[in-house]
């Protein structure tokens, strides 16, 4: 009471002298904080890295030249492959196993027979070389990429640069069918050519013709940084990104790292690593009152029964992920030495991840969606570059931490985002869940058909969705 | 009025009677695992009776087999390891190259085949497939003594060869400085789908199927009562065998005793066991081996179980390349012999393999997988047993009442305390903490394991415990 009376006893002006500035500071502080937190978008730190052999050279600037590159092969390489195919040792499948135990070796024999006697690697190399390839050194390693410009630019139209990133067990080759639909949409019956792209498809370091990192710790954030440097080196300040599988996480990281450079982010797979109480509640309620937790009917159809689709089926399909995230050098060793083993391992994914019902088929349904030539060309990229082990290490480098603790799990994505949700994708992410990370979803489309390898399997559908998304962004 | 009371009384008696009879019946009925009959051969089961002859078998090799192997070793393609990765990313390829060089230039498969053939081997057809086994009788038996039959079952990625060092300690203990109170004749079969046993052609061949096949084998060999010993899959198969035929299994000895039926008490003991060990029946050594649980339990299992996950879901895919590349096969198998012997070997560039094993033994085991082409079928066993998840099978909920001895080795990947084991193995006669050794106990520490088996059998025989079940 004495304190109060003492305060009251202050002269009016003295009171003001104390209270007003204090109040102003308080309100002002709160205002500043609020304003800053609205405009301050958290980003992932760019950082830096060195992935070459040995110590990073102290002197000298990195060679920034961009060198044209052509894929080559030799008689020796083809002979060696043929010998290994001829001497392959198979174990007969169990009766009635179809693809339930993995790749059926009876069907594998047929694939290998085609590979040995009909597949023409020299011809496929020419196919691969039809787009311009380049290499450039970034952070100590050679980065390979293809860069395809439209041969004809409609008058007055801007060409949008588009970086498309592949995943595992894919490669830059997955984009070969979709590229012409994006560089020359009009010629392929897609829209009036409102939007035209020049497409850059790099190989993730450790995949295909990009050099593998020699140091530990090469994760999607390092990849994101390197790809930003690549686009910068090519002279682009702002660009669009597209990705699925690892490409999805890499391009997402790119948007989290340097949002000012990313005009838009298009994904055909959404990784949500941060689960939480909200998600659990959403899952539990979603089965009964989907509208309450923001799930659509299509979301429900694709997500439930939850335990069956998201736990049981996911467990059944993630053995590869578990072993690659823990013992990549062991898992990849035999595959780098046996082309047949490599084909079985990779093509199993092209079967199951395209359509889960293919598990019941003796031939894994592969040739119903793809040609053996294109499937084997992708396998050959892993074979001739000996990159299977380094491609698997990417899993360990990215999944060793608790998923919720990774830097990118806590940072939102504020760039315009387009999501193409394919029905046969391994796991479905409803828009309501994607919103937790992707704060600016411009388009969200339920695709009518297609699985994990969207660009490879349904290039036209994917191209249409990308164009639809970019048109919306450009009009804004 | 009296008739109503009479009726009511009658009803009460009836109900009581049924309840009493129910309890009597259920008490007498012991929960056993049923023998699992099956037919695993190709195509349709023939109408004719199965041929039950037992014929001798010898491992053989050919020049062609050897030159094919050498060609593959010569043309092996390796991938450089990451700098300073040791064995943390799996088998280090720099060390692997050294192993391959030894394999090409010093390892003598013909000589090793002779080593394999030093013990008598046989085959017999059971449930449609040829079962391979080693059968070693004691070289000398003192007057009036008889040999006790002992079935020893290997696991993955091992084979019957793992027992070659321990067999003489059990069939001829006196010559090896051990007490000869108990002398054994040892039978080491190959699990169907492993080594020289034919692989099942039909789906669903799980541990209970293997136990049933081995049960038939022992009966066919004329043994009515026998001991069983096992680790890795051998642990589960011998456990199932004890559950199927408790009246025939005198004693069950295990060097691995996993508990798969995890319940609320287990979780509670994980949370509080470090602070209140006595409450949960944990000994000091249990606490030392199990805690901190996240690190020594959960993370360790996650880090080391990738192989089990992929083998339990896509065995034909993962085994394909390994059946075609001996180097890949060696990398895959050697990684286990390194890490499961001592987890700290992951920090070594050479995986510490030659500290506990010699390359001849390791490569002989690998060659068994290579020459028999059995890697894929060996992996299918994981799917047949684990595809519905751990802890879901009926046999996992049935107790084991046969006298059990457990040798708990310190470097086993996961430690099972006696407090947990005794919920399943209700008749534990001996539970010993071994001073050293890991997963491949018979190959790494044959004397320690043999001593533990002998003391266990000693206890069982002294008090004729098998009669008291």
Strand partners, A198: A161
Instruction: Locate the chain B residue with the closest alpha carbon to A106.
Output: B316
Contact B314, A323 (CB under 8 A): no
* Domain boundaries defined on chain B: 54-261+292-468
Kindly report the nearest CA distance between residue A380 and chain B, in angstroms.
15
CB contact under 8 A, B91 and A80: no
Q: Around Cβ B382, how many Cβ atoms within 10 Å?
A: 22
**pTM for the structure as a whole:** 0.90
Catalytic residue among B119, B194, B232, B286: B232
* Domain boundaries defined on chain A: 87-273+305-474
Mutate to test the interface with A, among B65, B73, B77 (most CBs of A within 10 A): B77
Contact A159, A196 (CB under 8 A): yes
CB < 8 Å to A105, chain B: 316, 320, 376
CB < 8 Å to A49, chain B: none
CB contact under 8 A, B322 and A341: yes
CB < 8 Å to A335, chain B: 321, 328
Catalytic residue among B172, B194, B439, B452: B439
Q: Which of B91, B305, B374 sits opposite A330 (nearest CB)?
A: B91
Query: Closest Cα to residue B365, out of B403, B341, B334, B389?
Result: B334
Contact A51, A141 (CB under 8 A): yes
Contact A147, A211 (CB under 8 A): no
Residues of A forming the active site: 245, 395, 452
CB < 8 Å to B307, chain A: 323, 327
pLDDT in tens, A266-280: 999 998 766 667 777
Question: Most confidently modeled of A143-157, A298-312, B217-231?
Answer: B217-231
The band of A130, judged by pLDDT with boundaries at 50, 70 and 90, is very high
Q: Around Cβ A283, how many Cβ atoms within 10 Å?
A: 18
Q: Which of A54, A93, A340 sits opposite B316 (nearest CB)?
A: A93
CB contact under 8 A, B202 and A332: no
Provide CATH code, domain B54-261+292-468.
Answer: 3.40.50.1820
CB < 8 Å to A82, chain B: none
Region of poorest pLDDT, from A111-115, A242-246, B49-53:
B49-53
Residue B253: active-site member = no
Provide CATH code, domain A87-273+305-474.
Answer: 3.40.50.1820
CB < 8 Å to A391, chain B: none
CB contact under 8 A, B314 and A319: yes
- The H-or-E segment that residue B369 falls in is helix B359-372
Q: Which of A97, A340, A386 sits opposite B324 (nearest CB)?
A: A340
Tell whether A104 is within 8 A of chain B (Cβ): yes
CB contact under 8 A, B306 and A326: yes
Mutate to test the interface with B, among A207, A214, A333 (most CBs of B within 10 A): A333
User: What residues of chain A, 380 to 409, have a C-beta less than 8 Å from chain B?
Assistant: 386, 388-390, 393, 396
CB < 8 Å to B327, chain A: 333-334, 337
CB contact under 8 A, B309 and A332: no
Phi-psi group of A98: left, alpha or beta (phi > 0 → left; psi -120 to 50 → alpha; rest → beta): left
Return per-residue pLDDT of chain B as tens, 469 residues: 456 666 677 777 676 666 666 555 544 434 678 999 999 999 999 888 888 999 999 999 999 999 999 999 999 999 999 999 999 999 999 999 999 999 999 999 999 999 999 999 999 999 999 999 999 999 999 888 899 999 999 999 999 999 999 999 999 999 999 998 999 999 999 999 999 999 999 999 999 999 999 999 999 999 999 999 999 999 999 999 999 999 999 999 999 988 877 778 888 888 888 888 888 889 999 998 989 888 888 889 999 999 999 999 999 999 999 999 999 999 999 999 999 999 999 999 999 999 999 999 999 999 999 999 999 999 999 999 998 877 778 888 899 999 999 999 999 988 999 999 999 999 999 999 999 999 999 999 999 999 999 999 999 999 877 666 5
Q: Which of B79, B201, B373 sits opposite A389 (nearest CB)?
A: B79
d(CA A384, CA B1): 99
Q: What ipTM does this complex have?
A: 0.90
């Amino acid at each position: 009471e004495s304190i109060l009376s003492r305060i009251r006893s202050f002269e009016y002006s003295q009171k003001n002298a104390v209270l007003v500035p204090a109040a102003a500071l308080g309100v002002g502080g709160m205002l500043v904080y609020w304003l800053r937190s609205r405009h301050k978008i958290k980003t992932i730190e760019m950082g830096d890295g060195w992935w070459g052999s040995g110590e990073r050279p102290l002197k000298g600037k990195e060679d920034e030249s961009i060198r044209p590159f052509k894929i080559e092969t030799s008689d020796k390489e083809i002979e060696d492959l043929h010998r290994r195919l001829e001497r392959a040792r198979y174990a007969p499948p169990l009766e009635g196993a179809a693809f339930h135990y993995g790749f059926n070796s009876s069907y594998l024999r047929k694939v290998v027979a085609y590979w040995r006697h009909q597949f023409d690697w020299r011809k496929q190399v020419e196919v691969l070389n039809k787009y311009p390839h380049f290499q450039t050194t970034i952070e100590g390693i050679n980065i390979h990429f293809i860069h395809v410009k439209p041969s004809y630019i409609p008058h007055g139209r801007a060409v949008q640069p588009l970086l498309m990133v592949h995943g595992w067990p894919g490669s830059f080759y997955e984009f070969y069918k979709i590229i012409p639909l994006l560089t020359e949409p009009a010629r392929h019956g897609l829209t009036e050519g409102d939007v035209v792209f020049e497409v850059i498809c790099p190989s993730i370091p450790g995949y295909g013709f990009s050099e593998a990192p020699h140091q530990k710790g090469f994760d999607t954030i390092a990849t994101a940084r390197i790809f930003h440097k690549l686009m910068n080196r090519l002279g682009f300040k702002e660009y669009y990104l597209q990705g699925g599988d690892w490409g999805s996480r890499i391009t997402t990281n790119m948007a989290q790292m340097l949002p000012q450079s990313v005009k838009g982010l298009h994904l055909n797979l959404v990784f949500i690593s941060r689960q939480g109480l909200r998600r659990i509640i959403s899952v539990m309620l979603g089965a009964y009152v989907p509208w309450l937790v923001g799930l659509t009917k299509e979301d429900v159809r694709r997500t439930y029964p939850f335990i069956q689709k998201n736990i049981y089926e996911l467990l059944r399909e993630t053995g590869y992920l578990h072993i690659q995230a823990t013992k990549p050098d062991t898992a990849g060793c035999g595959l780098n030495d046996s082309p047949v083993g490599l084909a079985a391992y990779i093509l199993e994914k092209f079967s199951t991840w395209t359509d889960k019902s293919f598990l019941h088929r003796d031939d894994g349904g592969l040739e119903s969606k793809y040609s053996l030539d294109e499937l084997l060309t992708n396998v050959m990229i892993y074979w001739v570059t000996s990159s299977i082990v380094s491609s698997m290490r990417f899993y360990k480098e990215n999944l060793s931490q608790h998923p919720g603790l990774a830097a990118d799990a806590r940072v939102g994505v504020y760039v315009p985002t387009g999501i193409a949700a394919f029905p046969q994708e391994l796991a479905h992410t409803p828009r309501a869940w994607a919103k937790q990370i992707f704060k600016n979803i411009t388009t969200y489309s339920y695709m009518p058909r297609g699985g994990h390898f969207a660009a490879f399997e349904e290039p036209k559908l994917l191209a249409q969705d990308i164009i639809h998304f970019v048109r919306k962004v450009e009009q804004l | 009025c009296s008739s109503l009371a009479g009726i009511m009384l009658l009803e009460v008696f009836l109900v009581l009677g049924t309840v009493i009879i129910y309890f009597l019946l259920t008490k007498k009925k012991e929960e056993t695992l049923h023998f699992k009959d099956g037919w695993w051969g190709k195509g349709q089961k023939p109408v004719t009776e199965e041929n039950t002859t037992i014929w001798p078998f010898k491992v053989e090799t050919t020049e062609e087999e050897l030159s094919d192997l050498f060609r593959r070793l010569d043309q092996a393609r390796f991938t450089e390891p990451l700098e300073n990765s040791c064995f943390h990313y799996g088998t280090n390829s720099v060390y692997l190259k050294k192993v391959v060089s030894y394999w090409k230039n010093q390892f003598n498969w013909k000589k090793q085949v002779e080593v394999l053939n030093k013990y008598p081997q046989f085959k017999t057809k059971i449930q449609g497939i040829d079962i391979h086994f080693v059968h070693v009788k004691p070289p000398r038996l003192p007057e009036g003594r008889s040999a006790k039959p002992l079935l020893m079952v290997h696991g993955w990625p091992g084979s019957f060869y793992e027992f070659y060092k321990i067999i003489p300690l059990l069939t001829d203990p006196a010559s090896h400085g051990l007490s000869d109170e108990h002398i054994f004749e040892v039978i080491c079969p190959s699990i169907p789908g492993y080594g020289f046993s034919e692989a099942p052609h039909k789906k669903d061949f799980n541990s209970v199927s293997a136990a049933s096949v081995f049960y038939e084998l022992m009966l066919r060999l004329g043994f009515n009562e026998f001991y069983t010993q096992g680790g890795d899959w051998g642990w589960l198969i011998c456990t199932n065998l004890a559950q199927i035929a408790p009246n025939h299994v005198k004693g069950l000895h295990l060097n691995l005793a996993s508990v798969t039926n995890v319940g609320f008490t287990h979780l509670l003991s994980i949370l509080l066991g470090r602070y209140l060990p006595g409450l949960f029946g944990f000994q000091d050594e249990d606490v030392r081996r199990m805690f901190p649980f996240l690190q020594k339990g959960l993370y360790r299992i996650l880090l080391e179980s990738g192989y089990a996950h992929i083998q339990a879901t896509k065995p034909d895919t993962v085994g394909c390349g390994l059946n075609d590349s001996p180097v890949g096969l060696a990398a895959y198998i050697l990684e286990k012999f390194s890490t499961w012997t001592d987890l700290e070997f992951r920090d070594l560039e050479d995986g510490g393999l030659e500290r506990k094993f010699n390359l001849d033994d390791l490569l002989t085991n690998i060659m068994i997988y290579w020459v028999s082409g059995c890697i894929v079928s060996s992996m299918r066993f994981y799917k047949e047993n684990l595809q519905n998840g751990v802890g879901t099978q009926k046999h996992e909920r049935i107790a084991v009442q046969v006298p059990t001895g457990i040798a708990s080795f310190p470097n086993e990947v996961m430690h099972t305390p006696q407090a947990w084991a005794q919920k399943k193995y209700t008749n534990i006669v001996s539970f010993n903490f071994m001073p050293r050794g890991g997963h491949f106990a018979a190959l790494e520490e044959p004397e320690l394991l043999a001593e533990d088996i002998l003391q266990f059998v000693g206890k069982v025989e002294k008090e004729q415990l098998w009669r008291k079940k």
